[in-house]
């Protein structure tokens, strides 16, 4: 999907915007302690990998999870609650600039019919977009410069089939012994209790594993 939007740095110039979807997050092989957020072009074959921090990766992953809810709001959840209270809506996120390997983004906010553009880090912008269900865009020239072309249509189709977001990929292990244990000896009721306990303890990797075990038995 492509749209026209005013460039933030050039007055009166219309540029083509390309809509992106979140395809996944994985541990970065080149940046220690960082993660790679992969965005994909809607109705296209290019992907846009962006290196983000561990906290932002976890925040995005939790927002994408349908069943796991933190017992207390994370920073981006707090922003969403604050915005809801004062009737502020994020209508879209735009990755508008790439300089020396750093992506620059803006969030488009609206309140009482008045639209504002706010500068933000790209990782924060994506974390907020997932909470507001706001579309994510970038400019064609940024995709041309930093996008990665998928090899063929079959590979793109395989990626599109991967709808389930795997939280364990982006959460650092905290209790490896417990996480590696088998759940086969537990009943569904036991698993549900352990799932609730893991969420309460903010152990989201274990919670994701318990959720998967419950889904497999259901």
Phi–psi pair at 5, nearest 5 degrees: -150, 150
CB burial of 27-57 (b: ≥16 within 10 Å; e: otherwise) equals ebeeeeebbbbbbbbeebbbbbebbbeeebb
Q: What DSSP element (H or E) covers 144? A: helix 140-146
Of 208, 50, 72, 77, give the one whose Cα is nearest residue 131.
77
Domain 2-165 of CATH type 3.40.50.450: no
The CB density around residue 165, as the number of other CB atoms within 10 Å, is 18
pTM for the whole structure: 0.66
Reported as a single tens digit per residue, the pLDDT across 86-135 is: 999 999 999 999 998 899 999 999 999 999 999 999 999 999 999 999 99
Provide the mean pLDDT of the chain: 78
Would you place residue 167 in the very low, low, confident or very high pLDDT band (cuts 50, 70, 90)?
very low
Instruction: Tell me what pLDDT residue 81 has.
Output: 95
The CB density around residue 127, as the number of other CB atoms within 10 Å, is 29
Environment class of 100 (CB within 10 Å of its CB; exposed 0-12, middle 13-18, buried 19+): exposed
Domain ranges, ordered by start, for the chain: 2-165, 173-218
Reported as a single tens digit per residue, the pLDDT across 139-162 is: 999 999 998 886 655 454 554 444
Which is more confidently placed, 7 or 213?
213
């Amino acid at each position: 999907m492509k749209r026209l939007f005013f460039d933030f740095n050039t007055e009166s110039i219309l540029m083509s915007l390309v809509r992106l979807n979140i395809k996944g997050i994985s541990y970065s092989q080149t940046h220690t302690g960082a993660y790679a957020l992969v965005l994909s072009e809607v109705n296209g074959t290019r992907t846009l990998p962006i290196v983000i921090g561990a906290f932002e990766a976890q925040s995005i992953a939790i927002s994408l999870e349908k069943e796991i809810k933190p017992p207390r709001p994370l920073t981006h959840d707090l922003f969403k609650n604050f915005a809801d209270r004062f009737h502020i809506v994020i209508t879209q996120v735009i990755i508008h600039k790439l300089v020396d390997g750093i992506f620059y983004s803006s969030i488009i906010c609206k309140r009482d019919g008045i639209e504002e553009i706010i500068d933000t880090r790209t990782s924060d912008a994506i974390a907020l977009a997932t909470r507001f269900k706001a579309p994510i865009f970038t400019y064609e020239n940024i995709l041309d410069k930093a996008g990665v072309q998928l090899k063929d249509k079959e590979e793109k189709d395989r990626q599109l089939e991967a709808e389930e977001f795997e939280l364990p990929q982006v959460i650092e292990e905290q209790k490896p012994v417990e996480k590696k244990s088998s759940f086969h000896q537990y009943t569904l009721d036991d698993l549900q209790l352990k799932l609730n306990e893991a969420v309460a303890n903010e152990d989201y990797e274990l919670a994701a594993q318990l959720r998967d075990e419950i889904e497999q038995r259901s």
